[in-house]
Chains A and B, each alone.
Chain A
């Protein structure tokens, strides 16, 4: 079964750091670009970051650039999101998502269940 499982979400103070992880299984992880998408409860979806299969291409939303870092370990079938200098605006459910295209960005065909990040003092 193709599956993505996120972990690492928790309550963190403003200015703090957190590292999210996404474990992939059931597919050839190393062939796919991976993404993080977040959603404030009750609000819409916001793309956060994309990392190509070989880690050559990395993209960030303006709202997180310079504070968040995406990385992957193809040997462990995992993708991480290191989040620094967090603020209340980063409070959201964070989803890991696979890009269905093996080349140019094509869309998110597999999603994890999400992990909740709450930034509050």
Chain B
């Protein structure tokens, strides 16, 4: 059971906009910023979004993040087949003194 809660799956068709939610608590998302990672099949995770909504260099602006209270969301617009991957949210937890992850959301592009 992960500390952060994500839906196990999401799907969309090419060109659509999809969102993935991430729910936490006052000790993690409520107190700290949220990061998102993309993991393509058979590869290491990739830094996708940090500090709630910032994109590292090279990440397309189709990817956006937001946070409100103890929840966060990742939005992907103009969905492409190469976006098919697992997506994880993460935040520092002040009570646990460590990083916590969501269980991951498997995105399928139909």
Given A100-B50, A105-B92, A107-B90, A112 contacting B97 (CB threshold 8 A): no
- If over half of B's interface residues share one DSSP class (helix, strand or loop), that class is named, otherwise mixed; here it is strand
Indicate if the CB atoms of B100 and A107 lie closer than 8 Å.
no
Could you tell me the distance between the alpha carbons of A44 and B35 in the complex, rounded to whole angstroms? Answer: 15
Chain B residues within an 8 Å CB radius of A47: 90, 98-101
Chain A residues within an 8 Å CB radius of B100: 47
Could you tell me the distance between the alpha carbons of A112 and B101 in the complex, rounded to whole angstroms? Answer: 18
- If over half of A's interface residues share one DSSP class (helix, strand or loop), that class is named, otherwise mixed; here it is strand
Task: Please tell me if B12 contacts chain A, counting CB pairs below 8 Å.
Answer: no
Chain B residues within an 8 Å CB radius of A112: 44
Task: Please tell me if B68 contacts chain A, counting CB pairs below 8 Å.
Answer: no
Could you tell me the distance between the alpha carbons of A118 and B35 in the complex, rounded to whole angstroms? Answer: 29
Indicate if the CB atoms of A44 and B104 lie closer than 8 Å.
yes
Count A-side interface residues using an 8 Å CB cutoff. 24
Q: Chain A: residues with CB nearer than 8 A to chain B? A: 35, 37, 44-47, 50, 59-62, 95, 100, 104-114
Q: Chain B: residues with CB nearer than 8 A to chain A? A: 2, 33, 35, 37, 39, 44-47, 50-51, 56, 88, 90, 92, 96-104
- Can you name 27 A-B residue pairings with CB atoms under 8 Å? A37-B45, A44-B88, A44-B101, A45-B39, A46-B101, A47-B90, A47-B98, A50-B98, A50-B99, A59-B98, A61-B98, A62-B96, A95-B45, A100-B47, A105-B92, A105-B99, A106-B33, A108-B35, A108-B37, A108-B45, A108-B47, A109-B50, A111-B45, A111-B46, A111-B47, A112-B44, A114-B44
Interface contacts beyond A107-B90, A114-B44: sample of 11 additional A-B pairs, CB < 8 Å, sorted by A: A44-B102, A44-B103, A44-B104, A45-B104, A100-B47, A105-B92, A106-B33, A106-B50, A106-B51, A108-B37, A111-B45
